[in-house]
Amino acid sequence: MMLARVIGRSWSSIKHPTYNGRIVFHVQPVRPDGSSIGRPFLAVDAVGAGPGELVLVAREGNTARQVLEAPEQPVHAVVMGIVDEVSVAGAPKGSA
């Protein structure tokens, strides 16, 4: 699992039936301090997240499919939590 920020929504006129009725977001992986790392990717929303929110993403295909209860479907990443606060052990208060 990883931290990411929702940076946009994906739209498609033709898609696999698994995605019908689901929102697919563009998410940017981030460090605990909020700085970006790596490249953005697509993740299916399972929790009602929105643009700009810090989220917890499962990026392993099997984990993502289990969260959506879709074991045989083509899902590779899923937003599975909205993060309220990040606290890093040993870090001064306010630096995370």
- Six token digits for residue 1: 């699992």
- Partner residues linked to 28 by β-bridges: 5
User: The tokens of 33 are what?
Assistant: 């301090």
Report whether pLDDT(13) > 90. Answer: no
- pLDDT the model gives residue 89: 81
Structure-token pair, residue 56? 């917890």
Q: What is the pLDDT of residues 46-57, one digit of tens each?
A: 899 999 999 999
Q: How far apart are CA 28 and CA 74, in angstroms?
A: 21
Would you list the domain boundaries of the chain?
Answer: 2-82
pTM: 0.79
Q: Can you list the positions of beta strands (E) in the chain?
A: 2-10, 24-29, 41-45, 54-58, 78-82
> Which helix (H) or strand (E) segment is 67 a member of?
helix 61-67
Question: What is the architecture of the domain spanning 2-82?
Answer: Beta Barrel (2.40)
